[in-house]
A and B are shown apart, each in its own frame.
Chain A
Amino acid sequence: MRRLAHFLILMVGLPLVAGFNIPSLPLPTPPLPSQAQKAAEVVTKTGTKAVQAARPLSEAEEYYLGRAVAARLLARYPLYRNPEATLYVNQVGLAVARKSSRPNPFRGYHFAVLDTLEPNAFACPGGLILVTRGLIRMCGSEDELAAVLAHEVAHVAHKDGLNSISQARWSEVLTTAGTEAARQYGGGVAGAVLNLFKGAVEDVFRTLVVTGYSRQAEEAADREAVSMLSRTGYQPGALAAVLGKMSGGGGGIFRTHPPTGERLARVRALTRESPPGPKEKVRTERFQRVKF
């Protein structure tokens, strides 16, 4: 018995003396019924503290928001069902995304081609990037396609889509949750969260399709795209080349990503003329082999 006691003392004492850092697992502590009732009352009276105003979204929340935006875009534009083209665009997109400031978003980057000749590209929050056949056809080479995709990856990396969510939307939840108005949406706080989600999807969708990002966001995305191209081994001048082609004006991407003369000059200033690398021809040839 005494031996057992010594053994147990050693078991207890040694880790403490040795300074073992045993990970502390937080206990899930279900609130007592009275505490839970109080919490519910607070939430009902004050809106909800759980949904914080203007808080940053977690990576997972951003992902679900991006899926909803993509689902809305895909209800408007059909997917281009060409496995060879889809794989190729994913390979080019992943090549540049690996060199971005955010190489590993939750569930990774995914690229898809939309079956429309309207030139456009959409960076859904979380890493879903949709580019139209029309825009790819404007690109004359793999390097130019890489420039377009790098620019869109930069918007994801900078969370520009999320920044378009109206700050007022978060306050709206604060004021409506728990009120009669929230109940009319179909369910207290849950209804308000769903309503917030719907509103956030609309805000991001509007930015992607109608209003476009701020000039500052476009400039930052251009800068990072040039850096990504350079680090991957693509021609950094490819972004200026493709922007130059877009300067004719029109709808789609011309409206949401306006390639003004000032912007073009700024992008050109970021890059130095460099002779074509030995593999640039190989890249252009494989681009031309894919049917868009």
Chain B
Amino acid sequence: MRTRMRIQRRWLGAALLGVALLVAFPSGVWPQNLTVSLSNQQLYSQPGFTSPPVAPVPQGAQVSLISREGDWVQVDYQGKRGWLHKAAVAGGGPPVSGLPALLSGGPVRQTTHDEVALAGKGFTPEVEAGFRQKNPGLNYAQVDEVERLQVDPARLQAFLQEGGLN
């Protein structure tokens, strides 16, 4: 009789532990670290580029995933909580494998799941890769060069001040 009660209590403990874990991680997703893969990124207070930036996040920074909403991920970076566009973090969205090859490859006999996933994502780096491959005359190298230039905020401030600008 005592043995049976002991077993029941063990089961009760295990069940309660399970419920506790479900409450802590309702999605079943454990805390996950993401790496910021693009430069010049900001944490935004809301999931949208028009919301006020909270803090800059350097390229390569590790952030903890809190939640997802559409194209946005809510993250924690050094105690600051905010939103990043999923394209700015490695692993921000579910990986879709082999898409550039799919885009540039020969005829596809039937619509594959990867294609459906790609269509749902719209214009992505994978689409750009396919476009570049098919249009080698385009000057993406200079586009990258233009984007690399970052004006130092302190220098911009000095420029504004010198010119009597707000």
By the criterion CB–CB under 8 Å, are B149 and A190 in contact?
Answer: no
| Cα distance, A99 to B164, chains bound together (Å) | 15
| Cα distance, A193 to B87, chains bound together (Å) | 18
By the criterion CB–CB under 8 Å, are B143 and A67 in contact?
Answer: yes
By the criterion CB–CB under 8 Å, are B110 and A186 in contact?
Answer: no
Closest residue of chain A to B41, judged by CB? A107
A216 partner residues in chain B, CB cutoff 8 A:
none
A190 partner residues in chain B, CB cutoff 8 A:
99, 102-103, 108, 114-115, 118-119, 130
Contact with A along B118-134 (1 / 0, CB 8 A): 11101111011011101
By the criterion CB–CB under 8 Å, are A15 and B139 in contact?
Answer: no
| Cα distance, A28 to B24, chains bound together (Å) | 18
CB distance from A232 to the nearest CB of B (A): 5
Q: How many residues of A contact B (CB 8 A)?
A: 86
Contact with B along A159-191 (1 / 0, CB 8 A): 000000000000000000110000110111111
Closest residue of chain B to A41, judged by CB? B111
By the criterion CB–CB under 8 Å, are A25 and B85 in contact?
Answer: no
Within 8 A of B (CB), among A191-219: 191-194, 197-198, 200-201
Contact with A along B38-82 (1 / 0, CB 8 A): 101010100001100100000000000111100100100000000
| Cα distance, A71 to B53, chains bound together (Å) | 29
By the criterion CB–CB under 8 Å, are B9 and A68 in contact?
Answer: no
B9 partner residues in chain A, CB cutoff 8 A:
1-2, 5
| Cα distance, A107 to B146, chains bound together (Å) | 12
Interface centre among B6, B12, B71, B159 (most CB of A within 10 A): B159
Within 8 A of B (CB), among A1-57: 1-2, 4-5, 8-9, 11-12, 15-16, 22-28, 36, 39-40, 43-44, 48, 50-51, 57
Choose one: B65, B131, B145; the contact of A194 (CB below 8 Å): B131
Choose one: A43, A65, A104, A183; the contact of B107 (CB below 8 Å): A183
By the criterion CB–CB under 8 Å, are A71 and B151 in contact?
Answer: no
**Contacts A36-B113, A104-B42 given; does A12 touch B23 at CB 8 Å:** yes
Q: What would be 24 A-B contacts, judged by CB atoms less than 8 Å apart?
A: A1-B10, A12-B20, A16-B23, A25-B66, A25-B68, A44-B110, A60-B71, A64-B124, A67-B128, A71-B138, A72-B138, A95-B159, A104-B49, A106-B85, A128-B147, A186-B104, A186-B106, A190-B103, A191-B103, A233-B165, A233-B166, A279-B162, A282-B163, A286-B163
Nearest first, the 5 A-B pairs at minimum CB distance are A279-B164, A25-B27, A8-B16, A50-B120, A74-B139
**Chain A: residues with CB nearer than 8 A to chain B?**
1-2, 4-5, 8-9, 11-12, 15-16, 22-28, 36, 39-40, 43-44, 48, 50-51, 57-61, 64-65, 67-68, 70-72, 74-75, 79, 86-87, 90-91, 94-95, 99, 102, 104-108, 110-112, 128, 142, 177-178, 183-184, 186-194, 197-198, 200-201, 231-234, 277-280, 282-283, 286
